[in-house]
Amino acid sequence: MIRLRYEPYELKLKHAFNLATSSRTSTPVMLVELEYEGVVGYGEASMPPYLGESHETVSRFLQKVDLSGFSDPLKMDDMLDYVDSIAPGNSAAKASVDIALHDLVGKLQGKSWHQIWGLDAKKTPFTTYTIGIDTREMIIQKTKEAAEFKFLKIKLGRDNDREIIETIRSVTDVPLCVDANQGWTDKQQALDMIFWLKEKGIVFIEQPMPKEQLDDMAWLTAHSPLPTIADEAFQRLYDISGLKDVYSGINIKLMKSTGMREAKLMVDAARSLDMKVMLGCMTETSCAVSAAAQLSPLVDWADLDGALLISNDIFEGMKVIDGKVTLNDLPGIGVRKL
C-alpha cells in the first residue's frame, strides 16, 4: 500500500524578492511524502503568488488523492495520469506527488533519476543566481554575495532597468541573463532595450513582454539579437507547440509542468521544434530543486538557485559548486531530509 502524507511549510527568504509587479519575503510550500514498504519518497509544492495556488488549494487537492487502487509504485504513468485527472489546474499540487513518486521509485531501484534516464552528470550547466529589483546599495551587496557564480539572472521590468544593469556591471563582468517578468509592453522599446543589453554582455531575455501579446512577442523574437525565453507564457506540455516562432526557447519549471515526468517530455518537445531549453525553479527547498536538477544535463541553461535564496531549507541535495549544478548519486531525486 502506498501512503500519502503532507504538511504545510513557509519558506523564509534571505532578501525580499522584488519583481516588476510584486514583492515578497516568504513563499508557502507543501511538503509531501509517499511511503511504500518502509521506503519514503519526498516531494514539494511551491506556491508563488502568480500560480494561484495556496496551502488551502493544495490541501484540498491532496485530500482528493486516493492511492488505494495502486499497489505497485513502479506503474508511475498510471498513477500520475490518475493524479492529473482529479481536477484541472493545481500544477504545483500535482508536481508534489510526481516528485515524491520519482524519489520513491528511484530509491526502490537504487538509482538516481539522472542515472535512470542515462544522463551524464558531468554535463550539468552552470546555474544562474538571481538578483532581484532593489536599491543600488542592495543590488551591489547581492552581486558581491554571488561572487562564486559564473552567471547571474537580473530581474528587470520597471523604469530603472538600465541603472540596474549599470550598477551590476560596476561590480562584475560575468555573463548575465535578464528576466523582465512581462514588464515591457512596447515592442520597439523592448527591442531597443535588448540591443543595449547585448552590448552589456547579456546572454538571453526571459519573458520580456506580457504573455497575451503574442504578435508583438513574435515580432520581437524575429528582430531580437538575443534569444527570447518563455516563462509565464506557458505551463503544460500542450502549450509548447504554439510558442514556436514566438519565443526562441522555454523555461521549464516543475511547478508548472506538474513534475518531472512532463518536464522530461517538455525537453523532448522543445528540441523537436528546435527551441532552446532553460530549466528553472520557484523559491523552493532543495527537495524540488534537486528533482529538477536531475534533468539538467539535457538543457542549455539552468536557473536552479531557489534553495539558495531561503534561510530555512530542511533538505540537503544538489549542490552548486563554483557556480555549477553538481549532482550526487543518492537514489531518487538525490536528497536527505535534515
pLDDT at 19: 65
Question: pTM, whole model, 2 decimals?
Answer: 0.96
Count of structural domains within the chain? 2
- Please give the pLDDT value at position 24: 81
DSSP letter for 39, please: E
For 294-312, the pLDDT digits (tens) are 999 999 999 999 999 999 9
Q: Are residues 104 and 126 in the same domain?
A: no
Query: 93 and 180: one domain?
Result: no
pLDDT of residue 299: 98
Terminal-to-terminal C-alpha distance of the chain = 26
Per-residue pLDDT, 154: 96
Q: Which three cell numbers stand for residue 222?
A: 524575429
Let me know whether 106 and 153 are in one domain: no
Which among 317, 284, 287 is positioned nearest to 303, based on CA atoms?
284
Range in 20-24, 85-89, 264-268, 322-326 with the lowest mean pLDDT: 20-24
Per-residue pLDDT of 100-133, as tens digits, reads 999 999 999 999 999 999 999 999 999 999 998 8
* Cβ contact 3:39 at 8 Å: no
Domain of 178, CATH number, reads 3.20.20.120
Whole-number pLDDT of residue 175:
97
Average pLDDT, the chain: 96
Mark whether 208 and 307 lie in a shared domain. Answer: yes
Q: Would you state the pLDDT for residue 20?
A: 61
84 pLDDT tier (thresholds 50, 70, 90): very high
* Residue 135 exposed, middle or buried by CB count within 10 Å (0-12, 13-18, 19+): exposed
Q: Tell me the CATH number at 72.
A: 3.30.390.10
Instruction: Count Cβ atoms within 10 A of the Cβ of residue 110 and give its class: 0-12 exposed, 13-18 middle, 19 or more buried.
Output: exposed
For residues 278 and 299, give the distance between their C-alpha atoms in angstroms, rounded to a whole number. Answer: 6
Residues 238 and 318 in one domain: yes
Q: Are residues 53 and 166 in the same domain?
A: no
| Domain's final residue, options 69, 89, 110 | 110
Are 249 and 276 a contacting pair, CB within 8 Å? yes
Cell readout for 293 is 536538477
All three cell numbers of 283: 523559491
For residues 100 and 132, membership in a common domain is answered with: no
pLDDT at 45 over 80: yes
Residue 129 and residue 82 share a domain: no
Cell 543589453 belongs to residue: 197
93, 89, 111: which is closest to 4 by C-alpha? 93
Name residue, grid cell 482528493. 64
pLDDT at residue 21 greater than cutoff 70: no
- Residue at which a domain ends, from 77, 110, 143: 110
Overall average pLDDT of the 19-45 stretch: 91
Quick: pLDDT tens for 207-256: 999 999 999 999 999 999 999 999 999 999 999 999 999 999 999 999 99
Q: 19 with 145, same domain?
A: no
Q: How far apart are CA 99 and CA 232, in angstroms?
A: 22
**Does 49 share its domain with 182?**
no
**Using CB atoms within 10 A of its CB, is residue 338 exposed (0-12), middle (13-18) or buried (19+)?**
exposed
pLDDT confidence of residue 51: 84
Of the residues 110, 140, 162, the one at which a domain ends: 110
SS3 44: strand
Q: Clarify whether residues 205 and 328 are in a common domain.
A: yes
Tell me which residue range forms the domain holding 48: 2-110
Beta bridge partners of 126: 324
Whether residues 75 and 211 fall in one domain: no
Q: How far apart are CA 77 and CA 74, in angstroms?
A: 9
